[in-house]
Amino acid sequence: MAVGQCDFPQMQPIPGISLGTACAGIKQHIKDDLLVIAMDAQASCAAVFTQNAFCAAPVLVAKANLTHAPRWLLINSGNANAGTGAQGMQDALKTCTDLAEIVGGNANQVLPFSTGVIGQSLPVDKIKVALPTAINALSSVNWDKAARAIMTTDTFPKGVSKIIWLDGHAITINGISKGAGMIQPNMATMLAFIATDAKINANLLQKCLAGAVEQSFNRITVDGDTSTNDACVLMASGMSEAPEIQADSAQYQLFADAVMQVCKQLAEWIIRDGEGATKLMRIVVTEAFNSAEAVLVGKTIAHSPLVKTAFFASDPNWGRILAAVGRAGVESMILEEVQIDLDEVCIVSKGGRDSAYTEAAGQRVMNREEITVTVKLGRGNAVEEILTCDFSYDYVKINAEYRT
């Protein structure tokens, strides 16, 4: 059950980017579980990947192939091809070769991505059989089908489409993502694929993506678990009539801001679809000494099972939030300077419960579906926001039954 209204938007086609899906029957035979994304030859591509030491075989292959002017992305759901050793690497490389043979390209220009169960061999034969169907289905309008094909425990497809204007010319930015559990991207089981028709070189595109990811996907957490397969890709077909975007220009800043907005919305969709989620919480840390300190405090609160279960129960047990702030590891924190609010209700000030706080006021806020926790540390000017969700009975059920 998603938190709030999460309708898939009308996605504008992007010249030079096409998507095709098929059902390979990797884990189930009901829906499409294979996605191919094709880029025209002049396109540039950037990507960031998980920092999990046990990163999946497709992550290793995609990292290596990113330097070879990628033309195709190959994504499967239902199997992560992670924790599969040398055989997993062979399988990931084999799928790239199989795709390249069909389209008449080079295997090192294919970026593979997988999501699903860890520790099981990738069914490469099933993927090979389904590849022609996905390739024959390539179209610039298949964004909805693509978003659905990469889903695992997601309850809805996640997409964002945005148009900006540079020098009188329209530039379109589309993005899809998947993820609902094992979510605490530390990138540098969430995947995101973003495409635009802007003209921009690969190095500048990489800079743009890294900055956007840091302020979006790296600011969310469902359960504190960094997946073996996290990846985010930004493709630029270069087919817009707008002039090429240059570094340190006003056009670059407008473009980077738009990519950031797309990434932030995709990241929010992931939290709204957190496994078993019934509430969305924004943890806003202000007056921190620096950004790192603000993120540390925000994620300590967001990762606390005690905090997350209290929100699920709509229990204004504010002591759990106080305890999380206290154990975050902030050096020389002056307790009397700390203030904690639940939406408009102050719960902590001057080192303890706020004198005006009442249980009824706290309960009124906790009954809401979306809640903002604001922590003022009184130590500086840094501000950061972390998005998270609650822990419900369904979170345990979904993950206990994930392989059944």
Give me the CATH number covering residue 78. 3.60.70.12
Q: State whether 329 and 231 are in the same domain.
A: no
CATH assignment at residue 352: 3.10.20.340
Which amino acid belongs to residue 201? N
Both tokens assigned to 162:
């945005």
SS3 category, 241 = coil
**Residue 153: predicted pLDDT:** 86
- Which residue among 272, 290, 308 closes a domain? 272
Q: What is the pLDDT of residue 67?
A: 96
- 251 and 337 in a single domain? The answer is no
Domain boundary among 272, 294, 322: 272
Q: Which residue has the tokens 């969310």?
A: 220
Check whether residue 388 and residue 297 sit in a common domain. yes
- SS3 readout for 327-373: CCCCCCCCHHHCEEEECCEEEEECCEECCCCCHHHHHHHHCCCEEEE
Query: Does residue 253 form part of some domain?
Result: yes
**Are the C-beta atoms of 301 and 284 separated by less than 8 Å?**
no
Task: Look at residue 151 and tell me if it is in a domain.
Answer: yes
Q: Are residues 38 and 166 in the same domain?
A: yes
Range of the domain at 380: 280-400
Among 239, 272, 305, the domain-final residue is 272
Tokens 């530390």 locate to 186
Q: What is the DSSP string of 200-214?
A: --HHHHHHHHHHHHH
Closest CA to 371 of 276, 280, 274: 280
Residues present in the chain in total:
404
The answer on 350 and 248 residing in a single domain is no
225 and 177 assigned to the same domain: yes
Answer yes or no: do 265 and 369 share one domain. no
Exposure class string for 308-326: b at 16+ Cβ within 10 A, else e:
bbbbbebebbbebbbbbbe
Q: Let me know whether 127 and 177 are in one domain.
A: yes
What is the Cα gyration radius of the chain?
Answer: 22
| Set 21, 50, 189, 300: catalytic member | 189
pLDDT-flagged residues of the chain (< 50): 188
> Is 289 found in the same domain as 198?
no
Q: What's the CA gap between 389 and 394, in Å, rounded?
A: 13
4 domain-assigned: no
Q: Flag whether 5 is in a domain.
A: no
- The residue assigned the tokens 């089908």 is 145
Residue 12 lies in a domain: no
Residues 160, 80, single domain; the answer is: yes
pLDDT at 256: 98
Write the DSSP symbol of residue 227: P
Residues 230 and 104 in one domain: yes
Q: For residue 338, is it within any domain?
A: yes
Helices (H), 137-192: 143-149
Q: Which H helix or E strand runs over 117?
A: strand 110-117
Taking alpha carbons only, the member of 390, 161, 191, 392 closest to residue 271 is 390
**Does residue 2 sit within a domain?**
no
Tell me, yes or no, if the pTM score tops 0.85.
yes
Could you tell me if residue 54 is inside a domain? yes
User: Is the same domain home to 268 and 378?
Assistant: no
pLDDT at 187: 52
User: What total number of domains does the chain contain?
Assistant: 2
Please indicate whether residue 189 is annotated as part of the active site. yes
